[in-house]
Amino acid sequence: MPTPLDTLNASFGLPGTLHFDEAAPGLPVAHITTPLASASIALQGAQVLTWQPTGQQPVLWVSKAAIFEEGKPVRGGVPVCWPWFGAVPGKPMHGFVRTRLWQLRGAELDAPGQVVLRLGIGDDVATHSLWDHAFDLELTVTVGSTLTLALTTRNTGTQAFEITQALHTYLCTTEITQTTVQGLDACHYLDKVQDFAPCQQSGAVTFQSETDRIYTDTTADSLIVDAAGGRNLRIAKQGSASTVVWNPWTDKEKTMADMACGEYRQMLCVETCNAGPDAVSIPAGGAHTLVAIISVE
């Protein structure tokens, strides 16, 4: 009798390019290797875990203490936060799709040699108990010398609904105290560390303590300058009106069982979002696509 893993490999595997195994029982992961890049994507949460362009160091960060268990969020990669971003009393943090198993809808090698995966999830009895709307959610992941994530929300119901959302990208950096984020100068932000106090950015974002900010009303690229590592990472975006910048620093890190001691120094989240006041309303029958394009410069 073929296993679900056998079925995935038979239906979607690409010899020498794409194969599936399990990170833990019941947690299938797609592994991609091409002349352009390598990557891995967990079907739970449609979560890109790793991406490394050929000739470069890894771009996405995953904690050494990350938990790989069915129904548990993984600390790192690019979790999909949807249909809400952040905390909602009595409901799962960052929504419910990041801990559910998505369906693999398609896998192909395109003309430029990139691997394109389509993963989807729809509403059911369990989702209606948390968020009573009909929807179809699809993430298209394009793995090449750049990494493109396109998250399309379709309202398949008869009433409009409103969402907040994020592609919660964890990035590798060599030393956080020598890392800056450009592209947000003069933007307004809500500072979670100061109880969501409204603030305005001046110059590049720098890091000397816990940082947790929602930059609002911005469509700009973010350029992450890793001075100690001698490289820059760019995140361009579409369909996004906000950017979240987060580093837990030492005290917050100690409260997280799925982060190892001192790891905050080598990671940074720069997230492509519609968060805070930048919620998106989608009419019945309508759709919205949130896109993040990550590159190494």
Element (H, E) at 7: helix 4-12
Closest to 96 (Cα-Cα) out of 47, 120, 131, 66 = 131
The answer to whether 210 touches 193, Cβ cutoff 8 Å, is: yes
**Total Cβ atoms within 10 A of residue 259:** 20
Annotated catalytic residue: which of 138, 253, 263, 271?
A: 271
List the Cα angle 59/104/33 in 5-degree steps.
40
What does the block give as tokens for 287? 């759709």
Burial class (CB within 10 angstroms; exposed 0-12, middle 13-18, buried 19+) of 110: exposed
Annotated catalytic residue: which of 94, 133, 168, 253?
A: 168
**Total Cβ atoms within 10 A of residue 102:** 23
**What are the start-end ranges of the H helices in 164-256?**
249-254
Helix (H, G, I), strand (E, B) or coil at 18: strand
What does the block give as tokens for 178? 């020598």
Q: Does 168 participate in catalysis according to the annotation?
A: yes
Q: Does 31 participate in catalysis according to the annotation?
A: no
**Total Cβ atoms within 10 A of residue 207:** 20
Burial class (CB within 10 angstroms; exposed 0-12, middle 13-18, buried 19+) of 174: middle
The answer to whether 37 touches 51, Cβ cutoff 8 Å, is: yes
Token pair 């362009």: residue: 53
The answer to whether 27 touches 68, Cβ cutoff 8 Å, is: yes
Query: CA 144 to CA 141: how far, in whole Å?
Result: 10
**Total Cβ atoms within 10 A of residue 220:** 16
**What amino acid positions are annotated as catalytic residues?**
168, 271
